[in-house]
Chains A and B, each alone.
Chain A
C-alpha cells in the first residue's frame, strides 16, 4: 500500500495525518492544480456536489450514497471547510483523493477557501487546535490559491435512463400522464437508498415545462421573458446548434457583470487570495435572485443576478445549465429560472441544527444516444404564440438525477447527540 493510500485510509477514519505528510500532499496537489485551467473541462458522467463545510461524517454519507472514488467521477463546487467540526479531515481527504485519482475528482474553489474567511469561521482555529501551530492551515491556504474557479461539463446526456427501482411512496405528481415506454425523463429524485421519490418527463418546450411540471424544489417559476435589450434574443446566427445538449458550467457562487463569456473566466489570474472585488470575487460570491438584470446586494457588496442574465449567458456560451452551490436550501437542491440554473447543497443538517436534507446531482453520459435529435423542434413551432425565439434555441438541459440524503446517523459520529445543556443564564 502506498503512503498516499495509507493517508486516505487514515483520513477516512477521521484521523488527521501528521504535519509533514500534510505538507507533502499539499505540495503534490499544487503541482497538479497548477496545470488545470481556471475552468476545468470535465466529461460526463459526473456527480456534482455543493458545500461540505467540514461535516466529515456527512461527506462519508455522500460517498455511500453517490458511490466511492474512483468508481464515481466527482466534482465538488467548493466550501469544503469552516463551520463544521472536521474541516481538516474533510479537505485533506478530498485533496488526497485528488492526488491519488486526479482524473476522477475535480475540486473548484468556494468563497470559504480563503485566508480571511477561514480565520473567522473555524478552519484556522481547528488547525491550531489539532496541530498546535498554524502551519497546516498555511499549507492548505496555499492549495486554495491554486483551485480552479469553475468547471465545464460536456457530453452529458439529455435524457435520463430511469432508475430501475421502486417509488418510495405513491408519487404526488401527475408525471405518469405519459406512458412509461414513451417517456423521456428529464429529472429524477432519489432518496438515499436509491428509491425514486419523484420523476419528471421532459416537456417539449421550456414554457410548457414551467407550467406542466412543478418540481418540489422550484416553486414559483418566474414567468419566462425575453432577453434584455441587446441580449441577442432575436438573433438566429447560431442556427439550430442550440438544440443539442449544451454544456454545464459549474461555479461556486454565480455570474459576474464583468464576465460575459467563459473565455473571460479563463483569462483571470486566479493564483491569489480571493479578492474583495472583481470578477473572481463575483464568481465565488454572487447569488441568483428574482430580479431583472443585475442588482447590488443591500449589504453593500456582492451581486444578485436575474433570470434574464442567466438565460442570456447560457445562450451566448452554449450552456444548457449553470450549476452552483453557496446557498443553503432545505430540499438539498433548487432549480430556478426555468431550470437554467440550479443550486446544489451537500451539507445535511447544516451546522448540526438546520434539519435540512442534502443533495448531489448526477449527469449521465451521452453515449447510447449519440444520434439523439431533439424532437422539440417541430412541436415547438406549433405553440409559437407564447414562445420567445430564444427559448426555441435554448440548449436542451441535461437529464438530472438528484440523490437526496440526510445527515449521517448520530452513532457514526462517535460523539453524543447535541442536547441543549441547562445553564444558569441570567
Chain B
C-alpha cells in the first residue's frame, strides 16, 4: 500500500478467503466517507447459472460476481457501489448493438447451405458485454435509488479537479478490482474494472469498460466519481469513446507506435478515441 507519509491507519483487512480474496475498508480522515472493496475468486458453476437466470444472458468467462467497490457517505448512509451483476444487467439482451467478429462474413459464407440449422444464431445478445453502467445508488434507508437525485450538470459548474488530482498528494488508500472479463473467444478483450484512490482531501474512482474487438472496434466507457471529503457533492462523469479498429491501427502506425502494445493499453488509447458521449451529473448527499 502506498502511504508515503504513513500518518493514518492502514486499511483493515477482513474476511480473507484464499490467496486472492480480501475485503478492505477505509474511512477518510474527516470520517465523512468510507470506501469498501472486495475481491474474491471467479464464481463457481452454481452461482453462475443462478446469475445467468436472473439477468437472462450468458455470463462472461471470468465473472467476479462477489467483487465490489463502494463509496459510502458515513453520516447519512448514502452509497454508490459498483458490482458485476448490475453492470451486466445493462448489457443489451437482444440483437440490438450486437457486434460481429472480424471473420464473421467469411465464416458465414463458408457455412451457407450446410443445413443442420447451423446458420441459426442462438440467444442473440451483446456478447461484447458493453455496458453503460454508472454505478448503483443506494439511499440512506438501504433501498435501491435508481438515478433519482442525480442532477445533470457540466464540468464548468462541477468540475472533476484534474489539476488537484494531478498533484503528488499521498495516496492513503488504493485498490483495483475487476468485475468481469471476457476474452471474446480470442477475438480481443472486454473488461470492466474499477480503480479507486483516496488522498487526504479528495478521492477519485474510475470504473472503466474496455473493449477491443480485433479488426472491428475499440471502445472505452469510463465513469469517474469525484468527491471532496469536506463537501456534500458527488460528481460523476460518464465518457464514452470509440474508434474503428483499422483506422486506429493506421493512425498508430503513422505515429510510429508499437501498435500491438498500445492496442492492449486502455490508458494509451483513451486520448486517441473520439468522444461519443460525455455527461456530468452531481448528487448532493443529505
Contacts and interface: CB of A to CB of B under 8 A. Distances in A.
Contacts of A424: 165-166, 168, 171, 197
Given A301-B185, A304-B122, 5 more contacts: A120-B186, A218-B45, A219-B49, A299-B127, A300-B104
A301 B107 contact: yes
Contact of B122 (A220, A298, A355): A298
B127 A277 contact: no
A367 interface: no
A298 B186 contact: no
Interface string B99-127: 11101111110110010111111111101
Nearest to A258: B114
A390 interface: no
A330 interface: yes
Given A293-B117, A327-B61, A422 B2 contact: yes
A58 to B, nearest CB: 13
A125 B1 CA distance: 30
Interface stretch (A111-119, A143-151, A171-179): A111-119
Contact of B62 (A111, A293, A328, A423): A328
A327 B18 CA distance: 22
B152 interface: no
Contacts of B108: 300
A258 to B, nearest CB: 8
A63 interface: no
Interface stretch (B76-84, B139-147, B173-181, B242-250): B173-181
Contacts of B21: 355
A299 B185 contact: yes
A278 interface: yes
A330 B166 CA distance: 40
A211 to B, nearest CB: 18
A331 B46 CA distance: 11
B42 A117 contact: no
Contacts of B121: 295-298, 300
A91 interface: no
A85 interface: no
Interface residues of B, number: 61
A237 interface: no
Give 10 closest A-B pairs by Cβ, nearest first. A355-B41, A300-B104, A295-B122, A422-B174, A422-B2, A300-B100, A420-B176, A301-B107, A355-B20, A277-B110
Given A301-B104, A424-B197, A330 B125 contact: no
Contacts of A125: 260
Chain B interface secondary structure, helix, strand, loop or mixed?
Answer: loop
Given A304-B122, A424-B168, A328 B104 contact: no
A356 B45 contact: no
B13 interface: no
A349 B45 contact: no
B29 to A, nearest CB: 17
B192 interface: no
A296 B106 contact: no
A258 B113 CA distance: 12
Contact of B101 (A218, A300, A349): A300
Contacts of A331: 44-45
B187 interface: yes
Chain A interface size range: 35 or more
A317 B108 CA distance: 28
- Counting chain B CB atoms within 10 Å of each CB, the highest count among A295, A330, A334 belongs to A330
Interface string A217-242: 11110000000000000000000000
B204 interface: yes
A124 B155 CA distance: 44
A220 B122 CA distance: 19
A138 interface: no
A302 B45 contact: no
18 contacts: A112-B186, A278-B110, A293-B117, A294-B117, A295-B122, A297-B185, A298-B98, A298-B123, A301-B104, A303-B118, A329-B45, A330-B41, A354-B20, A354-B41, A354-B42, A425-B195, A425-B267, A426-B204
Contacts of B195: 423, 425
A410 interface: yes
A417 B20 CA distance: 10
Contacts of A257: 114, 116, 118
A43 B110 CA distance: 37
A353 B180 CA distance: 12
Interface in A80-121: 111-112, 117, 119-121
Nearest to A357: B41
A289 interface: yes
Contacts of B175: 420
Given A112-B186, A407-B19, A353 B178 contact: yes
Nearest to A418: B20
Nearest to B205: A425
A329 B46 CA distance: 11
Given A295-B122, A296-B122, A298-B123, A355 B44 contact: no
Contact of A426 (B1, B100, B120, B162): B162
Contacts of A217: 45
A410 B19 CA distance: 9
Contacts of A420: 174-176
A173 B19 CA distance: 27
Contact of A294 (B98, B100, B101, B116): B116
A6 interface: no
A111 B187 CA distance: 12
